[in-house]
């Protein structure tokens, strides 16, 4: 059974002293999934159910980057580096470098940190989320305005809702002190004001951290680091989920909220065992992940202790009405290669996810005759030190 291990960030406060088969039920309204189940394996070829596009990012002295995609539109690709240097690169959809800017700083028109970047091509604007505000720039990096967070709110999983608004998760929701705020909001792109709070029922609010006594050392683990997207674009609607809820909801453009998926056993039960998160959603397959609620704490000293949360990657096959553990392969490699786990940040209703392919790896694969099709053509012109090639995975037409 394929397993992955998720390492969550921990902080330490030193103190002395002290199986079987799963089930699934699909109704016309929603899917019920047993997070404690054990499921068979299935292998998939990515190209059998998705369209794949490769884009080589132009490499030059000005446009030398690490290829972290932040946003993709019809005309532009927004890219940053893995290191937090504040650089923002704008490429066109063919990978040609158009603009690079950096507004990192502590001034009113600057960001201290880049959390997320949202591209609004309709209004020719870029939204950069920082610790307690969202900075708005034009496509040349010129400052336009700042959207301040309301008290008690922090925004994550941010997407365009429409031409006037953003839809966001309230990332402060799991703080125990926050008791009267909604987990999701729609905010104005003009001034950041909350235009609508999205109400969903919550059975049992789960705090964002847990303290565990491990051989006399108190280990603090954070559920907020679980690699889940709280908001996922899906057929001109949004899937919204919180750790504290058994139900994953679908939020419709008319503001109605309907059940999409329900976990069992309940998060409130003694045998809850694992969190459930959604990843990539395609026409046929829903990619899921369960993560144990209780971590495995390893190590004997404060310096080497880590909290390890075992995770299992699952896939719900809508056509077969069954759940599997899975491996997805990219058939443009020979032999075919596994695609990274599919609990990713979905891009939009066209592009389901992206993956960075390093130039030096493609250079070697081409030299060894391991590539096919368009990927082989692109790799033929690469140098080892070039920018990454971006793989865009899109809904089949």
Q: What is the mean pLDDT of residues 246-258?
A: 93
Mean pLDDT, residues 110-135 = 96
Is the CB of residue 130 less than 8 Å from the CB of residue 143?
A: no
| C-alpha dist (Å) from residue 2 to 65, 243, 313, 341, 342 | 33, 24, 8, 11, 14
Name the domain count of the chain.
Answer: 1
pLDDT score at 297: 87
Reported as a pLDDT band with limits 50, 70 and 90, residue 28 is low
pLDDT of residue 221: 79
Q: pLDDT-based confidence at 390, cuts 50/70/90? A: very high
pLDDT of residue 22: 42
The pLDDT of residue 24 is 47
Whether 325 shows a pLDDT value over 70: the answer reads: yes
Residue 281 pLDDT > 60: yes
* Percent share of the chain, pLDDT over 70: 88
Q: Does pLDDT of 11 surpass 70? A: no
Give the pLDDT mean for 333-353. Answer: 90
Model confidence band, residue 6 (pLDDT cutoffs 50, 70, 90):
very low
Which tokens belong to 78? 């927004």
Question: What is the average per-residue pLDDT within 24-47?
Answer: 84
**Residue 327 neighbours by CB distance under 10 Å:** 16
* Residue with more model confidence, 278 or 341: 278
Give the CATH number for residue 57.
2.130.10
Query: Poorest-confidence range of 30-34, 164-168, 322-326, 365-369?
Result: 30-34
Which parts of the chain fold into alpha helices (H)? 46-49, 359-367, 373-379
Q: What is the mean pLDDT of residues 16-26?
A: 40
Residue 298: pLDDT above 70? yes
Using CA atoms, how far apart are residues 171 and 229, in angstroms rounded to an integer? 11
Residue 388, φ and ψ in degrees, nearest 5: -65, 160
What is the distance between the alpha carbons of residues 355 and 393, in angstroms, rounded to a whole number?
8
Which residues are CB-neighbours of 243 under 8 A, at least 6 positions away?
A: 174, 206, 223, 226, 228, 267, 275
384 burial type by CB count under 10 A (0-12 exposed, 13-18 middle, 19+ buried): exposed
Q: In which domain, by residue range, is 305 found? A: 4-395
DSSP per-residue string spanning 270-305: TT--EEEEEEEE-SSEEEEEEEESSPEEE-SSTTT-
Instruction: Give mean pLDDT, residues 258-277.
Output: 89
pLDDT tens readout for residues 214-248: 888 888 876 655 556 789 999 889 999 887 788 99
Question: How confident is the prediction for the chain on average, in pLDDT?
Answer: 87
Quick one: pLDDT at residue 8? 38
Distance CA 397, CA 395 (A): 6
Specify the higher pLDDT residue, 17 or 264: 264
Q: If pLDDT is split at 50, 70 and 90, which confidence band does 157 have? A: very high
pLDDT at 13: 34
Cβ contact 298:308 at 8 Å: yes
Between 135 and 178, name the one with better pLDDT: 135
Query: 66 vs 58, 73, 85, 359, 360, CA distance in Å?
Result: 12, 19, 11, 10, 12
Q: For the residues 25-47, what does the mean pLDDT come to?
A: 86
Question: What pLDDT shows up at residue 306?
Answer: 84
């Amino acid at each position: 059974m394929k397993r992955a291990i998720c390492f969550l960030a921990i902080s330490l406060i030193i103190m002395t002293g002290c199986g079987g088969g799963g089930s699934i039920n699909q109704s016309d309204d929603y899917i019920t999934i047993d997070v404690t189940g054990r499921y068979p394996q299935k292998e998939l070829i990515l190209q059998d159910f998705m369209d794949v596009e490769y884009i080589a990012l132009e490499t030059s002295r000005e446009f030398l980057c690490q290829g972290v995609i932040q946003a993709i539109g019809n005309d532009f690709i927004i890219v940053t580096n893995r290191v937090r240097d504040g650089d923002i690169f704008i490429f066109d959809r063919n990978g040609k470098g158009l603009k690079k800017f950096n507004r990192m700083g502590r001034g009113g028109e600057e960001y201290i940190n880049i959390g997320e970047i949202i591209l609004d091509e309709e209004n020719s604007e870029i939204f950069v989320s920082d610790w307690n505000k969202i900075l708005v720039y034009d496509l040349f990096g010129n400052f336009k305005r700042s959207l301040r967070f309301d008290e008690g709110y922090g925004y994550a999983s941010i997407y365009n809702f429409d031409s006037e608004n953003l839809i966001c998760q309230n990332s402060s929701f799991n703080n125990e002190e926050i008791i009267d705020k909604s987990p999701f909001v729609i905010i104005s792109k003009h001034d950041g004001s909350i235009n609508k709070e999205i109400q969903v029922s919550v059975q049992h609010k789960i705090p964002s951290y847990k303290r565990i006594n491990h051989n006399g050392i108190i280990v603090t683990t954070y559920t907020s680091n679980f690699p889940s997207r709280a908001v996922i674009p899906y057929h001109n609607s949004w899937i919204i989920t919180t750790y504290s809820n058994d139900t994953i909801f679908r939020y419709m453009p008319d503001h109605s909220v309907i059940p999409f998926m329900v976990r069992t056993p309940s998060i409130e039960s003694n045998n809850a065992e694992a969190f459930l998160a959604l990843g990539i959603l395609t026409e046929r397959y829903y990619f899921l992940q369960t993560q144990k609620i209780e971590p495995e704490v390893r190590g004997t000293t404060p310096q080497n202790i880590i909290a390890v949360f075992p995770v299992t990657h699952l896939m719900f096959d809508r056509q077969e009405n069954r759940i599997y553990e899975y491996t997805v392969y990219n058939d443009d490699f020979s032999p075919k290669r596994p695609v990274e786990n599919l609990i990713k940040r979905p891009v939009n209703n066209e592009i389901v996810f992206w993956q960075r392919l390093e130039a030096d790896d493609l250079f070697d694969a081409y030299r060894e005759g391991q590539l096919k099709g368009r990927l082989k053509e692109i790799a033929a012109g690469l140098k080892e030190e070039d920018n990454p090639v971006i793989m865009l995975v899109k809904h089949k037409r």
